[in-house]
Amino acid sequence: NVLLLSTPALLRIACLAFSFAILQGSLFSFSVTYVTLVHGLSLPQAGAAYAGRRATGSVARIALGWLADRTGTPALNLTVQAVVAAVLALAYGGLPAPAPFWLALLSASAVGFVAVSWNGIFMAEIARLAPEDKIAEATAASTLVAFLGYVSGPTIFSLIVSFSGSYRAAFAFAAAQLMAA
């Protein structure tokens, strides 16, 4: 899209959303399998950890959105959130095997708080940065970029697990690319 390419601030936020979506999509796609295969959790325990991530992410969408509004620096807030999400994704992917249920739940919930709560801040920032007559175009284009992350992230994640035999390596990739963004 010409608008994203011609507006560096919009392009940066869209690229950050792409990277967040890689991590979020990978977490949503593989976490239950990860904690059951690597950490020996039962399916109900794995489901509870998944639910913990979703619940904290839902709370964080409100809390971190409120914080971004109050600080007036949503791009900076998203950047800090990305760094924290990357660190917590590394910790989640590096849980000692087997991990006790409480640790998997705590780790999943912590990474969920920051890794799945970026969407509203991202969309608000795109709307703020776009020219008033181009908000629809900017949100559509940046959403397309984000969804490319949702599609490509889990694919790359699964390839890393397949070739390396390691979820830790795949989580390291997801964290590193977000940190780089």
CA torsion 33→35→41→46, rounded to 10°?
-70
Query: For residue 152, with 0-12 CB atoms within 10 Å meaning exposed, 13-18 middle and 19 or more buried, which class applies?
Result: middle
The rounded distance, in Å, linking the Cα atoms of 170 and 164 is 9
What tokens were used for 178?
A: 């977000």
User: In this predicted structure, what is the pLDDT of residue 5?
Assistant: 85
Residue 4 pLDDT class (50, 70, 90 cuts): confident
12-52: pLDDT as tens digits: 999 999 999 999 999 999 999 999 999 999 999 999 999 99
pTM of the predicted protein model:
0.93
What tokens were used for 173?
A: 């990739």
Distances (CA, A) of 111 to 7, 16, 53, 81, 140: 31, 17, 7, 10, 27
